[in-house]
Amino acid sequence: MYNSMKRSSWYENTVFYEIYVPSFCDGNGDGTGDLKGVISRIPYLRRLGISGIWLTPFYPSPRVDNGYDISDYRDVDPAFGTLADFDMLLQKAHQAGIRVILDMVLNHTSDHHPWFRESRSSAHSPYRDYYLWEKEIPCNWESFFDGNAWEYDDTAGMYYYHAFSKKQVCLNWSCLQVRRECAEILRFWLDRGVDGFRLDVINFLKTDRSAFGFDNPVENGVMRHIYDKNQKGIYDAIKEISNVVHAYPGKYLLGEIGEDDLYLIKSYVGEGLLDSAFQFNLGSMEKLDVAYVAEQLRRMEAEGVYPTLFFSSHDMRRHFNRLCGKDLVKAELLAVFLLTAKGIPFLYQGEEIPMEDLPVESPRDLRDIQGRYGYEKKLAEGEGEEAAFLYARERSRDYARGMVDWEREKYEDSLVCAYRKLLDIRKSHLSLCMGEYGEIRQQGGLLYYQRIWEKEKIGVYLCFGEGSLTVPYTDVLYEVKDEKGRIRGILRYEQESSWCGAYSLEPSSSE
């Protein structure tokens, strides 16, 4: 079980901000985001009060999957800038007290990567074993993006394996040389001074070729991905990565574990493994369900998981649309939650102003590979255009990837002041960063928890439902009011729990 003593690592007291580089800020006027754009926003990020950024891939890439298909791990794509820009970014961020972690995709490379070109060129190439080649398709595994996971390559005269698009070729992690190369790539960026990594789909590493002997079960036409992830040998591979990274003191290793099972997620975190992992069980919930949130908080407590807190990312719809239905009060309440519940917050670019989902209204708006493939697949199966589009729209991840409109910062409905104030309160109250939970309660649309650190006890009351709060209005650090002036959220110093009578369906006396 994590205890307060353990939470002395910087990352456990950091508020991260995800920067999806292609759409964060345009620094050279070409209409898309780049590293100069990121540099230009560092003063803003500093004033906002975040203390870490997660940069999504900016490496050279054909950008079939927006950079998650890397063709050179040691450089910057010219569309995003240069290595000198990167060094400048790191220096400026550090000067502003902001740490920087990089997205690192070690599961697969682009098919344009020189390793793959070499690998396919000859059976005798020293790179042949870098990827997973088979003479015949060995099992029924499907890729997550585009159908069969086995692609025939004319040059090699064999099939190669890809868990994502066929342009994202999976590396063979049972090959010693692949592991050595990946270690060198990590060192390259660590030597430049980065503070850690977010490891992309890290439990998908192919560490056990014998798993090809097993078909995945298919239920109601949907494949259950059993044998193509969490393979035998995965923990050893992650230990090796961890050894490389943690040989540099104070570096942070965060994993994207594509699982909902908390027990499994937790198994990747600990001494010699990852420092933390995303918990999608809470972060990707489809509807705002307060009982579910309370249940997940309790489960993470019971499992001894130190949570990551987020509701948005480049892979899901923005929570302003998805969970809040564009209701500003709910968005502010969720901001309070993200910045006061136990765990490491990961804000997504633009949620503070608040950006809305990009409209995806016609097949032309489908840019994401997952959406585009879904559309083509349905058309090929004989579906009409509309049905194909509706199917594809569900799968597309374009929604949260629109250019951030920085003009919104000045809008009246911007939440940026709320985020700033909450980040400020968090900084000056150890219970909100390091505290244990006291009570966690939920009743209808009301969520209540206490954070406790030594003598400091803070109560957080969040009323997502129709009622309003009737908590004694003393020692209040922060409040959320709705458009009628009713109190919907309170952060206050707690003497004892004021839960009883905290919630009322009547208008509160403050009205």
Residues that bind ligand GLC (CB under 6 A): 65, 68, 105, 164, 200-201, 256, 314-315
Q: How far is the CB of 369 from ligand GLC (least distance, A)?
A: 7
Give the residue with the Cβ less far from ligand GLC, 164 or 449: 164
Give the residue with the Cβ less far from ligand GLC, 313 or 508: 313
Q: How far is the CB of 253 from ligand GLC (least distance, A)?
A: 16
Structure tokens at 5: 């003593």
> Other C-beta atoms within 10 Å of 494: how many?
22
Give the residue with the Cβ less far from ligand GLC, 66 or 242: 66
Could you give the CA distance from residue 181 to residue 203 in angstroms, rounded to a whole number? 19
Could you give the CA distance from residue 203 to residue 196 in angstroms, rounded to a whole number? 18
Give the residue with the Cβ less far from ligand GLC, 65 or 85: 65
In the chain the first and final C-alpha atoms are separated, in Å, by 44
Asked if 259 is an active-site residue, the reply is: yes
Could you give the CA distance from residue 48 to residue 454 in angstroms, rounded to a whole number? 28
Q: How far is the CB of 396 from ligand GLC (least distance, A)?
A: 12
Give the residue with the Cβ less far from ligand GLC, 278 or 478: 278
- Tell me which H or E stretch contains 153: strand 150-153
Give the residue with the Cβ less far from ligand GLC, 168 or 321: 168
Among 200, 256, 351, 352, the active-site one is 200
**Residue whose Cβ sits closest to ligand GLC:** 68
The answer to whether 418 and 409 are in contact (CB under 8 A) is no
Q: How far is the CB of 105 from ligand GLC (least distance, A)?
A: 5
Q: How far is the CB of 144 from ligand GLC (least distance, A)?
A: 8
The answer to whether 61 and 107 are in contact (CB under 8 A) is no
Give the residue with the Cβ less far from ligand GLC, 201 or 211: 201
Could you give the CA distance from residue 404 to residue 407 in angstroms, rounded to a whole number? 9
The answer to whether 360 and 399 are in contact (CB under 8 A) is yes
- Nearest alpha carbon to residue 245 among 196, 192, 318, 182: 196
Give the residue with the Cβ less far from ligand GLC, 315 or 383: 315
Among 26, 151, 259, 398, the active-site one is 259
Range 83-115 burial, b when 16+ CB lie within 10 A, else e: eebbebbbebbeeeebbbbbbbbbbbbbbbbeb
Entry field: residues in the chain? 511
Asked if 200 is an active-site residue, the reply is: yes
Rg, C-alpha atoms of the chain: 24
**476 φ/ψ angles, rounded to the nearest 5 degrees:** -85, 130
Residue 488 DSSP SS3: strand
Q: How far is the CB of 201 from ligand GLC (least distance, A)?
A: 5
- Nearest alpha carbon to residue 201 among 163, 241, 256: 256
Give the residue with the Cβ less far from ligand GLC, 142 or 479: 142
Q: Kindly write down the DSSP assignment for every residue of 97-141, as one continuous string.
A: T-EEEEEE--SEEETTSHHHHHHHH-TT-TTGGGB-EESS--S--
Q: How far is the CB of 163 from ligand GLC (least distance, A)?
A: 8
Q: How far is the CB of 95 from ligand GLC (least distance, A)?
A: 29
Residue 450 DSSP SS3: strand
Q: How far is CA 211 from CA 206, 230, 467, in A?
A: 9, 10, 53
Q: How far is the CB of 401 from ligand GLC (least distance, A)?
A: 9
Beta strands in 251-354 (DSSP E): 252-255, 276-277, 308-309, 344-348
| Residues identified as active-site | 200, 259
